[in-house]
Structure 1
Amino acid sequence: MASSLVFGAVADDLTGAVELSAMLQAGGARTRLVVGAGAVPATLDGTDALVVALRSRVAPPDEAVAASTLAARRLRALGARQIFLKYCASFDSLDTGNIGNVAEALRQDAPPAPVLFCPSFPEAARTVFHGHLFIGLQLLADSPKRHDPLTPMTRSNLVDVLAPQTTLRVGVLPFERVAEGAAAIRRHAEAALAEGTPFLIADAILPADLQRIAEASVEWPVMTGGSSVAAYYPALWAQRGWMPPEAAPPLTATAGPSAVLAGSCAERTREQVACFGQSHPVLSLDPMEPQEAGVARALDWAAARLGEGPVCITTSDDPSRVAAAQAAYGAIAAGRRAEALLGALAAGLVGRGVRRLLVAGGETSGAVVEALGISQLRVAPFRELGVGLCQAEQPVPLALCLKSGKLGSVDMFARALAGMEAAHA
């Protein structure tokens, strides 16, 4: 007999889905990750949380809403008490979506209740105060995110960011109410709902703020945010008797050749590629060159070096060259060309025996996993910001590290590849 699911999450990219799964696993929740709404099973046993990874962050709004709604309906059919919309801690989105429009669609299928938006991730220096998102000491609009090639974030007030994406009214859950605790949060949110404002941007600066927000929202049918607030849910589920105290089995060690595929143009990814290149071979590809020729050249280059250690193939580039590519092809099309190239390379590398693969970039990770035909991943418990370790059994046994372009230490590439050779509890 299938068990009832506690928590169903819809993530707008794969690296976010991995990060969320890892944090839930670390909290003791038996968590599964599937890729695509179509991969949600009809029945489920021994699972407390099911995370669905989509590629909806920069998808056309109608596609993002349709895929997210389908995933949420399948999660509810499995008994999920709460649907959680996972997005980036920097609230990556456009005026057309896909945060507000998707959240509105998810709420339409649920009983009436407030919906909070909580992207804060204090461990990564992402905080919200009076509705304004800060990246470290900088307002979002003053940070490098203003130059993001796909979702340039030119406003710091998240009410102003979210409002064009939804027909519903958007307000703020102020820090003063958050500091008063879960009961005060619920009273404020329910009063706002009664006055016609169901969506609230949640102020949160410290981990304790996220814990209070989680306590307030754990029984609401729809919640949205980053993985940092969701990390507090498993303990609350255990307190309510919603999940048994059973730990998931650890990931196994994986040997074999290894490689890095870097598609993110984030400054941190480019720093990581440069650091890796100090002691390992790196090949830079122009994603605008014909794909067949680029893939063949890169695979020949890698084949001659894989026996000596890990290699890196990258399409990451400086902002000026990215802007030129976008001007020629359009922002989304230019990104998709790079993702298709790296997806084809991933399939070629795995076909040549690579069994440990690090992929840098959320959209790139989605493209690679799709190209490899992977529909389900086992995820290791969270250990380090920006390092999402997981394993696929089909179509071939493969260890993966799927990382956001903006996160991870500068020297993480080599460390993560080496770490895949050890078991992860």
Structure 2
Amino acid sequence: MLLGVIADDFTGASDIANTLAKGLPGQGGLRTTQYLGIPDRPASAEVEAGVIALKSRSIPAGEAVAQSLAALSWLRAQGCRQFVFKYCSTFDSTPAGNIGPVGEALAQALGVKGVIACPAFPTVGRTVYRGHLFVHDRLLSESGLENHPLNPMTDPDLRRWLARQCQTPVGAVTWPTVHAGSDGLRAALIEAAARGETLVIVDALSDDDLVTIGRACDGVPLLTGGSGIALGLAANFLRAGAASGGGVNFAGIDGPEAILAGSCSGATRGQIEVHAASHPVLHVGVEDVLAGRTRALDVVDFICAHPSEAPLVYSAGGPEEVAALQQKHGREQIAEAIENLFATVARTLVAFGIRRLVVAGGETSGAVVSALKLDALTIGPEIDPGVPVLFTATDRPVALALKSGNFGAPDFFAKALRRLGGSA
């Protein structure tokens, strides 16, 4: 294994695994496997990039650090030459963590400073300029992410936000230095390390900037960021002759299908609306779940009553509705109830023969994949930017799409099921 990634949620792991497997146009990527938690056995010899999916984004910072260090230990044992700590392209965290504590802990374990922190993903509208994170043409704090139910992002100044989480100084490299090329960026990072800055916010406005960052980090032990940070990394290993650049053949998996959406993001709510125009959908009310009026078997019955119709079940609500419910019942209680419901539904559906499953929302995806007790997933073709086909290599294979709430085109759900089945 050449490259090891520690991702703080399951959809984010799929996102960066997709970036590594795809690589740059015309060059190919790395043979990539996504591991669902820390494996208990060595990786297969053909794996060039291993992505460990943790569910550590919203847990206490100390627990996130411990899990991430354990993941690092396993990846080092596989022979990895470079490591990436992957977090959300909207920098989802609270003033108490977890991006800063985990990033600093990994850097200390590897004995490095001047480590890039760049969540930019221009393909889906996330850019960083003068240390501020934008979502399309809006500052992060004005993009709707300030209403995130678990990690509300109220400050777009990443250096200031990260400084609240870190024990050591936070640096910054602005866009003119990045635009000037990889040599200047590398020099700026060395200077930051000399000043004692462990994590360094780095601007990026385009994919070209991310490729520059990748070139500057050839041979660097540790990077942190969104999936875009990996855009130029495969090319370094290919250029050195260390990787094959071979892809994975995916013929598709046929069989019954279902869609589970736990995300409350605006993008997911729009995708639900589009899907509902021509497919059966079921809304799961939070208070019905909490009161026991809606149970997992009710959801399973609905899906099984609509075979081959791409049925969708969702719990999404608008920001005002979500805030009111959290005020009444508590954020953690609601999240646990919905995640447990969808986890039980997914486990039951697969036992009943569902073979294609689309899940929207990072926390929901983590709950679902944990419930299915899958060891590893092979990365297949891209569905939409940041979302690949994932599939198991077992006697009864399952194909999955794990979508971050804000990702995907308006028709994502129907498109994802087609791609899972092997159609364009």
Q: Give the TM-score of the pair, scaled to structure 2.
A: 0.94
Whole-Å separation in 1 of the counterparts to 2:383 and 2:421:
16
Aligned residues: CA RMSD: 1.7
**Equivalent position of 2:189 in the other structure:** 189
**Equivalent position of 1:298 in the other structure:** 299
- How many Å apart are 1:395 and its aligned residue? 8.2
1:285–1:294 contact (8 Å) kept in structure 2:
no
Say which SS state the counterpart of residue 358 (structure 1) adopts.
strand
1:186-225 map, 5 Å: 186-225=186-225
1:250-399 map, 5 Å: 250-288=249-287, 289=289, 290=291, 293-306=294-307, 308-382=308-382, 384-394=384-394, 396-399=396-399
1:30–1:47 contact (8 Å) kept in structure 2:
yes
- How many Å apart are 1:292 and its aligned residue? 8.3
1:163–1:169 contact (8 Å) kept in structure 2:
yes
The reply on whether 1:36 has 2:32 as its aligned counterpart is: no
1:40–1:75 contact (8 Å) kept in structure 2:
no
- How many Å apart are 1:146 and its aligned residue? 0.7
Whole-Å separation in 2 of the counterparts to 1:202 and 1:250:
36
> Could you give the per-residue CA deviations for residues 367-391 of structure 1, whole angstroms, max 9, x where no partner exists?
1111111121011143521432111
The reply on whether 1:16 has 2:12 as its aligned counterpart is: yes
1:291–1:341 contact (8 Å) kept in structure 2:
no
Which stretch of the first structure deviates more once superposed, 105-114 or 40-49?
40-49
- How many Å apart are 1:296 and its aligned residue? 2.0
Aligned letter for 1:129? Y
- How many Å apart are 1:423 and its aligned residue? 6.5
Whole-Å separation in 2 of the counterparts to 1:117 and 1:291:
43
- How many Å apart are 1:49 and its aligned residue? 0.7
1:10–1:84 contact (8 Å) kept in structure 2:
yes
Whole-Å separation in 1 of the counterparts to 2:328 and 2:165:
27
> Could you give the per-residue CA deviations for residues 176-197 of structure 1, whole angstroms, max 9, x where no partner exists?
2111211111111111211222
Whole-Å separation in 1 of the counterparts to 2:203 and 2:238:
26
- How many Å apart are 1:111 and its aligned residue? 2.7
- How many Å apart are 1:335 and its aligned residue? 1.4
- Aligned pairs, number: 417
Aligned letter for 2:211? Q
Percentage of pairs with the same residue = 38
2:31–2:248 contact (8 Å) kept in structure 1:
no
> Could you give the per-residue CA deviations for residues 194-232 of structure 1, whole angstroms, max 9, x where no partner exists?
122222100111111111111111211111011112021
Aligned letter for 1:45? A
Whole-Å separation in 1 of the counterparts to 2:252 and 2:192:
50
Aligned letter for 2:265? A
Say which SS state the counterpart of residue 52 (structure 1) adopts.
strand
Say which SS state the counterpart of residue 4 (structure 2) adopts.
strand
1:68–1:102 contact (8 Å) kept in structure 2:
yes
- How many Å apart are 1:392 and its aligned residue? 1.9
Whole-Å separation in 2 of the counterparts to 1:195 and 1:222:
18
**Equivalent position of 2:170 in the other structure:** 170
**Equivalent position of 2:26 in the other structure:** none
Alpha carbons of 1:209 and 1:293: their partners in 2 closer, same or farther (altered >3 Å)?
closer
Aligned letter for 1:325? L
Whole-Å separation in 1 of the counterparts to 2:42 and 2:293:
38
1:23–1:381 contact (8 Å) kept in structure 2:
no
Whole-Å separation in 2 of the counterparts to 1:20 and 1:43:
18
Whole-Å separation in 2 of the counterparts to 1:395 and 1:364:
26
- How many Å apart are 1:240 and its aligned residue? 1.6
1:179–1:209 contact (8 Å) kept in structure 2:
yes
Whole-Å separation in 2 of the counterparts to 1:392 and 1:44:
14
Alpha carbons of 1:134 and 1:293: their partners in 2 closer, same or farther (altered >3 Å)?
closer
> Could you give the per-residue CA deviations for residues 335-389 of structure 1, whole angstroms, max 9, x where no partner exists?
1221111111111222222111110011111111111111210111435214321
- How many Å apart are 1:239 and its aligned residue? 1.0
Aligned letter for 1:256? G
Alpha carbons of 1:240 and 1:111: their partners in 2 closer, same or farther (altered >3 Å)?
farther
2:103–2:199 contact (8 Å) kept in structure 1:
no
- How many Å apart are 1:334 and its aligned residue? 1.7
Alpha carbons of 1:255 and 1:381: their partners in 2 closer, same or farther (altered >3 Å)?
closer
2:11–2:403 contact (8 Å) kept in structure 1:
yes
Aligned letter for 1:7? L
Where does the alignment leave 5 or more consecutive residues of structure 2 unmatched? 24-28
- How many Å apart are 1:53 and its aligned residue? 0.3
Whole-Å separation in 2 of the counterparts to 1:347 and 1:198:
42
The reply on whether 1:57 has 2:57 as its aligned counterpart is: yes
1:234-249 map, 5 Å: 234-245=234-245, 247-249=246-248
Whole-Å separation in 2 of the counterparts to 1:102 and 1:291:
37
Where does the alignment leave 5 or more consecutive residues of structure 1 unmatched? none
Aligned letter for 1:25? A
1:251–1:380 contact (8 Å) kept in structure 2:
yes
Whole-Å separation in 2 of the counterparts to 1:292 and 1:353:
26
**Equivalent position of 2:128 in the other structure:** 128
**Equivalent position of 1:160 in the other structure:** 160
> Could you give the per-residue CA deviations for residues 80-106 of structure 1, whole angstroms, max 9, x where no partner exists?
111100011111111111111000110
The reply on whether 1:68 has 2:68 as its aligned counterpart is: yes
Which stretch of the first structure deviates more once superposed, 222-231 or 263-272?
222-231
- How many Å apart are 1:43 and its aligned residue? 4.8
Aligned letter for 2:248? P
Alpha carbons of 1:273 and 1:122: their partners in 2 closer, same or farther (altered >3 Å)?
same
**Equivalent position of 1:407 in the other structure:** 407
Whole-Å separation in 1 of the counterparts to 2:332 and 2:219:
37
> Could you give the per-residue CA deviations for residues 157-177 of structure 1, whole angstroms, max 9, x where no partner exists?
001111111101002111121
Which stretch of the first structure deviates more once superposed, 391-400 or 260-269?
391-400
> Could you give the per-residue CA deviations for residues 16-56 of structure 1, whole angstroms, max 9, x where no partner exists?
1111111211122111110112x253354112110000111
Whole-Å separation in 2 of the counterparts to 1:363 and 1:156:
23
Aligned letter for 2:301? D
